[in-house]
Amino acid sequence: MLPALLAGVGLPLLTRLVSGGLKAIDNPVAAAAAQALDEVDAAVGRGEIPPERLAEANRHLERLSEIEAARETEILTQVNATMRVEAGSDDAFVRRWRPTFGYIVSFTWALQFAAIAYAMVATPHYAKELVEAMVALTPAWGIALAVLGINVVKRSRDKEVAAGVAPKAGLLQRLLGG
């Protein structure tokens, strides 16, 4: 969607946006690219680039956007087909991977925090290092807990659908008016 929007507003705006983004990067290559884009923008402003060439560049951007959108659509179609096959599977593991993942995450969470609590009591002089180690694990736990949360929500919706109840619209769907 974003590439189509950018292609629709045209090359001059795109050069300004990309230039602004590159200027925020502290790197000589990024700075040179930003300067080159600024020069293109200035040439457009002075009329040195004919309107028909800009129109051609915009058509090229639109075509690239169409190609990118088609590629993304194909990827999503394949992912959707895979998910449908998995959902219809009679394989016990495919049907039970969500609860298994939940039990593993819960057990690991409890084990880790019990070990940390014990280590802090047994060796309080290492408390600072233990807290730093816990903080270092935050991204890993964030991912695991996010996957667990998605699994719980998805399974709840699966159960609602199986019971013949229309699932409630999520926050994003309500915001988008769906």
pLDDT at position 178, please? Answer: 54
User: How far apart are alpha carbons 5 and 7 in whole angstroms?
Assistant: 5
Q: pLDDT value at position 116?
A: 92
Range of the domain at 165: 91-175
Note whether 25 and 55 are same-domain residues.
yes
Residues of the chain with pLDDT under 50: 1, 4-8
Which pLDDT does position 40 carry in this prediction?
86
Last residue of a domain, one of 57, 79, 101: 79
State whether 62 and 96 are in the same domain.
Answer: no
- Indicate the pTM of the whole model: 0.42
Among 46, 79, 112, where does a domain finish? Answer: 79
CB 35 within 8 A of CB 94: no
Residues 125 and 153 in one domain: yes
**What was the pLDDT predicted at 78?**
87
pLDDT at site 9: 58
Instruction: Give the chain's domain count.
Output: 2
Residue 86 falls inside a structural domain: no
